[in-house]
Amino acid sequence: MPVRYVITTLKPGVKREDYERWLVEYDYKVARSLPSIVSYRTHRIEGPINGAETAGWSYIERIEIRDVDQYQRDIASPAGQELMRQLYGDYLERSKNIFFWSEEITD
C-alpha cells in the first residue's frame, strides 16, 4: 500500500498552537472522509534533523493511501481543494515542502 510522506514548515508568524488546533479540528476530519486515505497522521518534529539542521522543517505527515489515482481525484474534489486552500493559504509554507511516495517492504 503506498504511503506519502510530506515534510513541512509553518509560514512566518503562524503559531504552532493555531496550526495544530486546525489540524485536529478540520484536517484530520476531512482526511478521514476521503475514500483514498486509509490513515493520516502528522508528527511535530522535535529538535534538529541530522544533516538538515538549517532546513527549518516543523512537521512530517504520513498518509497511507488505498489508491494513488483515487487520492489525486480526492485532492481535486471540492473538499480536497478547500483543505489545500486552508492548509497552504493559512498555515504551511508550500515552497519549503518535501514529499515523496513509498512502498512498504513486507515479509
> What are 38-84's pLDDT values in tens digits?
999 999 998 777 766 666 789 999 999 999 999 999 999 999 999 99
d(CA 6, CA 13): 21
Task: Indicate yes or no: pTM above 0.85.
Answer: yes
Q: What would the grid cell of residue 106 be?
A: 513486507
d(CA 69, CA 13): 35
Q: What would the grid cell of residue 98 be?
A: 518535501
**pLDDT tens by residue, 16-43:** 999 999 999 999 999 999 999 999 999 9
Helix ranges, 1-107 (H):
16-22, 28-33, 68-76, 78-86
